[in-house]
Structure 1
């Protein structure tokens, strides 16, 4: 089971690398790691398990955050009544809206151990393609918090941190042509 001890901090160079594609069909080792990413995200949202193991709550996780530069992410979150629970190899944005969105509470990251203030402009609607743990192709049309979370995790695979998107002159500048997303 992954714990906070397995995470790299924001100054680790691995978080600035472009992660490599996972050869498919995935090896047992890669499947195990992807399953562990999902297990962490799910466990971190269960107060009793999180408290027992000292897990910081998260809704998404990318392999580079646990010191593995491979293209895999896990997302587990509920938006209204919809559950988004996906563990994907080689996820990529295949399309996106012109309209932007931003999380009114700002974004956080399990690899960033400090508060970072500001709005992070994201695409309001996206389509993501990837491959699940069983080797099946997955295509998702997403909006709201799910779209924001997937973009955050895919950014990790490209060496981009969420705060790279924040306007340094005016962190709370509302992105042009955007909608506010509440969490």
Structure 2
């Protein structure tokens, strides 16, 4: 099980590298890492377990954040309708996206960033993602709202991009009126 001791902080160079593709079919070692990523995200949302192990709550996690430069992510959250969106994927790719943009009104955070960073992070409002699950099945997802934002955040980690790279540093809270605000 991953704990906060396994996380690298934002100044670690691994977070700025493009992560390597996972050879498929995945090895047992890679399957374990992917399962452990999902386990962390789920455990971090369980108050009792999080308190016992000192876990910071998160809705997504990418392998580079635990010092593994491979293209793996886990996302576990409830969407606006209360439906569970829970996927652990090898080699996720952003296949297509809307022109329309959105942002989290509360801003974004990151388990590898231990300081508050203010500002809106512009994201695509709707995306299509493909990847391979732990059973080796191809997965295609159409996402919007919080799920879309979370998947973009985690895929960015695989490409060496941090969420704050997207913030307009001259005017961090300025977003065009056409952007869709997403409450969390």
SS in 2 for 1:98: coil
Is 1:138 the counterpart of 2:143 in the alignment?
no
Q: SS of the residue aligned with 1:38? A: helix
Match of 2:164 in 1: 163
Instruction: Report how far residue 83 of structure 1 moved.
Output: 0.5
Q: Distance in 1 between matches of 2:89 and 2:40?
A: 15
- Provide, for residues 111-169 of structure 1, a one-character-per-residue CA deviation record: whole Å limited to 9, x for no partner: 00000000000000000000000000000000000000000000000000000000000
CA distance in 2, matches of 1:138, 1:159: 23
For residues 125 and 52 of structure 1, what CA distance do their matches in structure 2 show? Answer: 37
Secondary structure, in 3 states, of the residue corresponding to 1:94?
strand
Residues 1:83 and 2:84 are matched in the alignment: yes
TM-score, with structure 1 as normaliser: 0.99
> Structure 1: how far apart are the matches of 2:88 and 2:178?
31
**Contact 1:121–1:175 (Cα < 8 Å) also in 2:** no
TM-score when scaled to structure 2? Answer: 0.98
Counting matched residue pairs gives 183
Runs of 4+ in 1 over 2 A off after TM superposition: none
- How far, CA to CA, are the matches of 1:20 and 1:93 in structure 2? 16
Structure 1: segments with no counterpart, 5+ residues: none
CA separation of 1:70/1:175 partners in 2, compared to 1, >3 Å: closer, same or farther? Answer: farther
Q: Corresponding residue for 1:180?
A: 181
- Aligned-partner SS, 1:74: strand
Mapped partners of 2:116, 2:44: distance in 1: 19
1:152 corresponds in structure 2 to 153
* Contact 1:100–1:175 (CA under 8 A) maintained in structure 2: no
**CA distance in 2 between partners of 1:145 and 1:97 (Å):** 15
The equivalent residue for 1:32 is 32
Partner of 1:96: 97
CA deviation after TM superposition for structure 1 residue 178, in Å: 1.1
